[in-house]
Chain A
Amino acid sequence: MNPLIKFITVMVIALELTFIKSVTVNLVVIGVSALLYLFLHLHWKQWLWLILLPLLPGLGSWFSLMYFGTGNHVHMAWVMLTRVFAYLWLGGLFTLKLTEEREVFLATLEQKAKLSSTFVYALVGVLNFMPAVNQQIKTIRIASQMRGQTLHIWQAQLYFKAILSAIRWSQNLAEGMVSHGFTEGAPRTYLNVITINKRDWVLLAIILIAFQLLLFPNWY
């Protein structure tokens, strides 16, 4: 499935979940996501994240509603707990695959969603910069240690230097883009032309219709 279509599906369902106060619906979303994760062969660490990450905010709202809420607070406590899990597991379907699908996603944004190519390539530049950040921080610290000064993580000078190098880097990126012919607003050709399969649209429709049907029985 094209990552942009997947993104739309996930966003629409997530938006609807915000208005639905049903534990069952939340559980169905979690269940279906879990089923899909089984096919995706997740690493055990990713499973751990999926379980631990929603736990704190989920339990937080559960406790506050359970013991300090008013009205139908017991029901709402369970809704909130399951909703947090449903959001994260749903979102994970998109984000956990993003590293592999990044290129297609950005290309789809540029070619199909007609997002400004300046925005898309600035995003590409930033994403490519991320792995270098850690090494850069390490280098900054070692460079000052060589000069007899230890910069600790609570010292402003470390961040000053890091921000400075980020600014330098963004200037370089802009110059690099222009010197390689990038022009804001100008047409470009594409080596890989993105096509969204009819199958993807059909799948999107089926999932969304199925989800609406799920809402009918007035569970909330």
Chain B
Amino acid sequence: MGDLVVDNVNFAYHESQVLTNVSLTLRPGTFNLLVGPSGGGKSTLLKLLSGLYPKFSDGQLTGKLSIDGYAIDDIVPYQRVTYIGYLFQNPTRQFVMQTPFEELRFSLENLQLPPNDINTRIHDVLKTVGMLDFMHHDLLTLSGGEKQKIALAVALAMNSEYLLLDEPFANVDPTARLQLIQVIKQYQQTGKTILITDHDWSGYTDLIDDVFFMDAGHLHQANQVERAKVLKQLPIQTNIETTLPIQQSNLITLKKVTLSNGTRPLLSETSLEIPKEKRILITGPNGVGKSTLFSALVKLTPYGGIITYNQQNIAKQKIAKHVRDIALVFQNSEQQFVAMTVAEELTQAQQFSYYPDIWTNDTLEKILTQLNLSELRQHVVYQLSGGQQKKLQVLIMLIIGTPTLLFDEPLAGLDNDSQQHLLEIIAEFSTRQHQTILFISHQLQAVTHWFDYHLHFENKQLVYLGGDS
């Protein structure tokens, strides 16, 4: 086992300090959890440990970061990954090739694995993460959660001594999440050391050896009290309290709608009403078609059947007008941005808001403070942390005030406090702005009483669940 040393590490971008005097000891063969608020420097630390930073950043590193006495960023990549494997936070970011098979082959060829072993190992790891059937699918057609499973498969295939995972389950459904935690646990038990960041603390109770806290660039190992708080038994099955919708004014109607992804059918003929000015949760396993449904509602992907909005067939609407009625809050935050800095994004949103009277500068300042974003106005949006991007993106779309908002996993990758703040803000302003909210989420602990109705998508069926579900 390589000896990993992280001693007094500082990392800064120009003026702004990201990590301050970080020292970390991971006991060999342990399972470690790294927690802390969004933007605290967790991803930066992991990228430094993986050797991607400082090379792929313009930041300054001081302090000691070494493995077996070699500076991590000095080791050539194909040797480094035998020591340290790394899984990115954003699932769309880590693939070179077209299919899972090709990506795995590419990675194993880089490691100079004998050709005879390559096929076997590809088969094994895809089976482990439950994605064997997707071996030759186009990665572009996989859902966020499915991509994350493939990324994990690559990490497992490389068989690194240390495995660093940055929010690997943010887009993964709860059932699959628990399975994947077990997969990682089994990997650890073959003598590997794991460091994982996760804002969802459920499912780790009996698995974790050490817990680390990271806040505003400072790292410390959790004491007994903090540790107990993180690892307390959380309910894994959550009860979402909703009722079945009753006859009322409907906003969106699906008439015999079908969806597919290339050749893969996702939704068989479904007719359904979506009521006005309500908050509706959409749940379902990864890859079932939740994002595709949203894409169809904003006319980004084709569908079968008829969708009407306010009794108008949306197929006949001009796209520019249509998306001022229904807007999508993308799963990938960066797709939402139209400007460079936080301030420019906010000004643009205020300028085109349906409710400029609500979104005064004072209100905005108050909300930015609540979301811990007020200090970041001059920052470039692409340099924010994953969590900060998510919060900014949601805020911008709330300011725009589109009558119907489709949120695609807005809570993914956010810490508990940020989730609560964001939900409160969405609730307050969507009520004042008479908005209808459709909301895909796998993070259910936070939202047990937040929704009016609950749609569940599984086995090509989309149905309302009601009463206690």
Question: Which residues of A does B touch, CB under 8 Å?
Answer: 121, 124-125, 128, 131-132, 138-140, 142-150, 157, 161, 164-165, 168, 171-183, 186-191, 193
Contacts and interface: CB of A to CB of B under 8 A. Distances in A.
Contacts, number: 137
A125 B55 CA distance: 20
Contacts of B328: 142, 146
Contact of B338 (A128, A144, A176, A177): A144
Given A121-B106, A144-B338, A182-B78, A176 B352 contact: no
A82 B78 CA distance: 52
A189 B112 CA distance: 5
Given A179-B50, A189-B115, A193-B115, 6 more contacts: A128-B97, A142-B298, A142-B328, A146-B397, A181-B107, A182-B106
Given A176-B96, A180-B106, A191-B115, A147 B78 contact: no
B103 A180 contact: yes
Interface string B318-354: 0110011001101000111110000000001101100
19 contacts: A128-B96, A142-B300, A145-B320, A146-B298, A146-B328, A147-B352, A148-B352, A157-B338, A172-B94, A178-B51, A178-B55, A180-B110, A180-B158, A181-B107, A181-B111, A182-B110, A186-B78, A191-B108, A191-B118
B468 to A, nearest CB: 36
Closest 8 CB pairs of A and B: A148-B352, A181-B110, A180-B107, A146-B327, A181-B81, A176-B94, A172-B93, A183-B78
Contacts of A193: 115
B56 A175 contact: yes
B96 A142 contact: no
B77 A147 contact: no
A176 B348 contact: no
Interface residues of B, number: 59
B93 A175 contact: yes
Contacts of B115: 189-191, 193
A171 B107 CA distance: 18
Nearest to B301: A135
B177 interface: no
A121 B96 CA distance: 8
A65 to B, nearest CB: 46
Contacts of B78: 181-183, 186
A102 to B, nearest CB: 10
Contact of A146 (B52, B97, B110, B324): B324
Given A178-B77, A179-B86, A181-B81, A149 B382 contact: no
Nearest to B399: A147
Contacts of A187: 112
A207 to B, nearest CB: 32
Contacts of A175: 52, 56, 88, 93-94
Given A182-B110, A188-B110, A176 B95 contact: yes
Q: Which of A132, A171, A175 has the most CB of B within 10 A?
A: A175
Nearest to B402: A146
A179 B352 contact: no
A35 B445 CA distance: 67
B424 interface: no
Nearest to A180: B107
Contacts of B320: 145, 150
